[in-house]
Amino acid sequence: MFPSLTSRIFLLVAAAIPTTVAKPEQIRAVTSPIFHYYLQAYPQDPIIPVMGPESSSEYFNIGSTIQSTNTSAYLNIGDDSTSYKTLTFADAGSTDAWALEGDTIITSTGSSFGRQLNFLVCQLSGSYWQVYLQMGSETPSGKTCSNYQSLHLPCLC
């Protein structure tokens, strides 16, 4: 039977809506020393994004911006002269370079950063590690750091 005009319009509208609607996701690391540590604000200074315990993990809407659904803060990339770029949480999203490649957080090829998927983490205290976008190989001196980390969704579901 030929579908009614109403149902044909419905099908057109439904087809225009992406089937993979992003949902709030946790973002985690998969390599020692931060294996299954999760992205969140540093409790002692919430503008600093850290990898920390799963129990205090935040959830994020991930598109060209990354926004915490817990705090509404956006994850922005700084313009440091070092190869590692400071990330900060802020009320406004000034970075629209983020993207997903499979389950991996990247900066998109077309962005001013190009396609990057390495992150540097440096220990702040206990199980909290500050996270930076890493575009080269530099690390800060005098800190305990781990280079070439990657960030992932917990699963492709």
Ligand X SMILES: *[C@@H]1O[C@H](CO)[C@@H](O)[C@H](O)[C@H]1NC(C)=O
Residues that bind ligand X (CB under 6 A): 56, 58-59, 70
The residue (of 58 and 89) whose beta carbon lies closer to ligand X is 58
| Vertex 88 angle, CA 87 and 89, to 5° | 135
How far apart are CB 132 and ligand X at their closest, in Å? 22
Q: Which amino acid is at 127?
A: S
How far apart are CB 21 and ligand X at their closest, in Å? 17
How far apart are CB 40 and ligand X at their closest, in Å? 6
The residue (of 126 and 142) whose beta carbon lies closer to ligand X is 126
The residue (of 59 and 113) whose beta carbon lies closer to ligand X is 59
The residue (of 70 and 147) whose beta carbon lies closer to ligand X is 70
How far apart are CB 69 and ligand X at their closest, in Å? 6
Contact status, residue 75 vs residue 66, Cβ threshold 8 Å: yes
Q: Tell me the residue number closest to ligand X, measured at CB.
A: 70
CA distance 50 to 42: 6
Contact status, residue 146 vs residue 129, Cβ threshold 8 Å: yes
Q: Which residues of 41-62 are buried (b: 16+ CB within 10 A; e: fewer)?
A: bbeeeeebbbbbeeeebbbbeb
